[in-house]
Amino acid sequence: MTTRISIIASVTRDGGLGHKGNLLYRISDDMKHFKAVTMGKPIIMGRKTFESFPKGALPGRRNIVVTRNASYNAPGIEIATSLDEAINMTAASDEAMIIGGGEIYRQAMPHASRIYLTQIDADSPDADTRFPEIDATRWDVTQQSEAATDPRSGVNYRFVTLDRK
């Protein structure tokens, strides 16, 4: 069995992911979408992304943290010292989810066969973390939701699934 490597991210028009360790937008429906897509699957993330979770490891998912510090430890996580090691740890799964941050996304792009993207209809000049460029010649949009508006921030967004050609 081959594990599908999928990326999930919430990205602004200009590729912004985060600022000072936080998401640029906290959209309730995006959080629900993230939970629905990742629940029951192994999630792979960098240490900084893990440390941004106020309650630690995400429940209902196998949390794998990529860090160069092999002695790093926190409740509910497993450690991998490279993305390749983390991916190998998910070999028994149908799908493994790459959930960030920016450097892990960059490393994961060549491995990924699917991207679950929340496209936020805003620019983010203050973003200090950015999503890697998606080469449209290598990816097909296979699902796309209608645009919706976040009632709290007023920002428009849509959910898009891309599959590698």
Spatial CA neighbour of 61 closest among 50, 70, 71, 52:
50
Number of domains in the chain: 1
Q: Tens of pLDDT along 32-60?
A: 999 999 999 999 999 999 999 999 999 99
CATH number reported for the structural domain that contains residue 118 in this entry:
3.40.430.10
Taking residues 121-128, what's their average pLDDT? 94
Q: Any alpha helices (H) in the chain, and if so which ranges?
A: 28-38, 47-51, 83-89, 102-108
Structure tokens at 51: 């440390």
The predicted pLDDT at position 9 comes to 98
Q: Are 24 and 17 in contact (CB under 8 A)?
A: yes
Q: Tell me the average pLDDT of the chain.
A: 96
The predicted pLDDT at position 1 comes to 65
Q: Tens of pLDDT along 63-116?
A: 999 999 999 999 999 999 999 999 999 999 999 999 999 999 999 999 999 999
Answer yes or no: pTM beyond 0.85: yes
Q: Tens of pLDDT along 146-162?
A: 999 999 999 999 999 99
**Boundaries of domain holding 48:** 4-164
